[in-house]
Chain A
Amino acid sequence: MEYLDFEKPIEELEAQLAKAQDLEKETETDMSKSVKELQERLESTKKDIYKKLSPWQKVQLSRHPQRPYTLAYIEAMTEGNFLELHGDRGVKDDKAMVGGWGMLNGEPVMFIGQQKGINTKMRQYRNFGMPNPEGYRKALRLMKMAEKFNRPVVSLIDTPGAFPGLEAEERGQGEAIARNIYEMSVLKVPIICVVIGEGASGGALGIGVGDRVLMLENTWYSVISPESCSSILWRSWDYKEQAADALKLTAPDMLKNKLIDGIIKEPLGGAHQKPQEMFEILKKELLKEITELKGKTIDKLIEKRLAKFAKMGAYK
């Protein structure tokens, strides 16, 4: 497990604990007392650290290299009953945006989401989870298919932003995102969006309009990353912590400002600590939401979806 800077006390205690346990085995002496003591200290240290995470620390957790990504969630939640679909039917298949049919406890669902890579090679292959316009158009194609066959859409959001490249501009990154927002706001099937990692700006919102917009506990969602915000407003990269505070980008802040509908708890220390547990939690949550949303007529659902986004804002 990789440790973040603020997790150093945990790393030290875990090392000590491992040492004590090794020593116990080697020397066959009874160390159970000190082992127990260490375990207790470890637990309370973990609780202390993870309970009062700063916004910036949550941003770090959301980007933890071992954090599970979209396909891992889909594979686990559907128990392998997943039919991945490719291509936007125009330009190419965007590897940073994945999607397809998945069976969630007998419930057919259209999954879409940004995909990050699990190692250096795959990160490049997945373009670091930054979709090009064809990625958004692929997602829209799949959502339209879900609409055609009257199945709910589950969108898993995890992106540092839409790709700001030359070809992306040529192929209309702005138009692709705008079109998705437009279409999603009136799509005639239930849509559930979950931020599972990073929710950066238009790149996230491009698959982020839904009847339920939820965030995992240690994720962030805002108009810009704290680093870029720091570089623009403070004219230096060094104010990322302040920027993370100022942007109010954590799940509790977003809920308080009525910009999302709910928060999903993660295992202590983040989703990567106990991925299986995380998959189970999300699956349960999704099934609950789907059952609830399916009980409403689609006209009512769209009316409420539109009204929700129409209310967002603060003005005098």
Chain B
Amino acid sequence: MGWFTRNKEGITTSTKDKKETPEGLWYKCKKCKVIVSVEDHGKNVWVCHNCGHHERINAREYFQLLFDEGKHTELNAKLSSGDPLKFEDTKKYTDRYQASVKKTGLNEAVSTAYGKLNNQDVVIGCMNFNFIGGSMGSVVGEKIARAIDHSLKYHKPFIMISKSGGARMMEAAFSLMQMAKTSSKLAQLGQKGIPYVSVLTDPTTGGVTASFAMLGDINIAEPGALIGFAGPRVVKETIGKDLPEGFQTSEFLLEHGFLDFISHRKDLKAKIGLFLTMTHSQPATEKSTKKK
């Protein structure tokens, strides 16, 4: 016999009498479950004011955060996938793609744009994780390549914010070769002495880690992000035991020498700006005599 007994069985409030919280007014932190208003959450750059958890945000938010007054011009916004392999598993790739466009209101897993950051011309690419897991297919590779072309043409620094599960399986070897396409463009950027800043955010894994995300002149990460080549589940299966705490986090990568520093999202713009001032602003002596 329990200590308490119910007077009435079950939940009796009918669905229509339930008090619904209007959507989009409150944000509940995924980590500490503390609730804040969406407005305050946005003001705090989508970082939990209680535990510091950095919520996953898309290109739109990062552009607002990094470009001066949020002003920017998007590049190649209309590019979309050609389904080169007519790929079909349990669903057709084209159906998955259309569903993702509809659900997210985005065109692809990356957006690229140019504008000013602390009054310096820059090109920024940023991945959208909720578009098929931020996976890299032909369009992602092409948009990044074209953004770097813009950087090359106008001698503007390139900033890439990664947030991706890796290659897009439904484009098979096409997606694999995007690793070569993007990395070889970065090699050209490197030869011209134009700075490249890589920002790794939660999560950055697979083919994205094994290409542009790890190739920055500086690699910056947001706190607590999952960053790795193989996913944690695969590594766990490989070694057959539990993974050490903090494995494949930003802090782990910093410790092992693969990041230059970790930055709170609110300091990101200032730190990138400072780096660009150090490396790319007009020096006191004329640079053009030395470099083409």
Contacts and interface: CB of A to CB of B under 8 A. Distances in A.
Interface of A: 162-166, 168-175, 177-179, 181-183, 185-186, 201-202, 205-206, 208-209, 221-224, 229, 232-234, 239, 242-243, 246-249, 254, 257, 259, 305-306, 309-310, 312-316
Contacts of A162: 210, 229-230
Contacts of A314: 81-84, 138, 171, 174
Given A221-B173, A257-B173, A316-B79, A310 B185 contact: yes
Interface string B138-182: 110110010000000000000000000001010111111111110
A222 B85 CA distance: 12
B90 A233 contact: yes
B17 interface: no
Interface of B: 79-85, 87-90, 138-139, 141-142, 145, 167, 169, 171-181, 183-188, 190-191, 206-207, 209-215, 228-230, 234-235, 238-239, 243-244, 247-248, 252, 256-258
Majority DSSP secondary structure for residues of A touching B: helix
A223 B176 contact: yes
Given A164-B229, A164-B238, A172-B256, A178 B183 contact: yes
A179 B213 CA distance: 11
Contacts of B178: 312-313
A311 B229 CA distance: 26
A169 B248 contact: yes
B215 A179 contact: yes
A177 B80 CA distance: 28
Nearest to B81: A315
Contacts of B172: 222-224, 246-249
Nearest to B253: A172
A315 B228 contact: no
Contact of B85 (A181, A246, A313): A246
Interface centre among A185, A234, A312, by most chain B C-beta atoms within 10 angstroms, is: A312
Contact of A259 (B81, B83, B174, B183): B174
Contacts of B213: 174, 178
Interface centre among A166, A254, A259, by most chain B C-beta atoms within 10 angstroms, is: A166
A221 B184 CA distance: 20
A225 to B, nearest CB: 11
A165 B145 contact: no
Given A164-B230, A178-B179, 12 more contacts: A162-B210, A163-B238, A166-B238, A169-B230, A179-B215, A181-B180, A313-B141, A314-B84, A315-B79, A315-B80, A316-B80, A316-B81
Interface centre among A182, A242, A248, by most chain B C-beta atoms within 10 angstroms, is: A182
B120 to A, nearest CB: 25
Contacts of B228: 169, 174
20 contacts: A169-B247, A170-B252, A173-B230, A182-B186, A185-B187, A186-B184, A186-B191, A201-B176, A205-B180, A221-B173, A246-B88, A247-B85, A248-B173, A254-B173, A257-B85, A312-B141, A313-B142, A314-B83, A316-B81, A316-B82
A182 B183 contact: yes
Contacts of B230: 162, 164-165, 168-169, 173
Contacts of B244: 166
Interface centre among B83, B181, B235, by most chain A C-beta atoms within 10 angstroms, is: B181
B139 A315 contact: yes
Contacts of B82: 314-316
B173 A177 contact: no
A233 B230 CA distance: 17
B180 to A, nearest CB: 5
Contacts of B177: 205, 259, 309, 312-313
Interface centre among B139, B169, B176, B206, by most chain A C-beta atoms within 10 angstroms, is: B176
B188 A248 contact: no
Contact of B181 (A166, A239, A243, A310): A310
Nearest to A243: B89
A201 B176 CA distance: 6
B181 A309 contact: yes
Contacts of A249: 172-173
Contacts of A229: 169
A120 B235 CA distance: 23
B196 to A, nearest CB: 11
Contacts of B256: 170-172
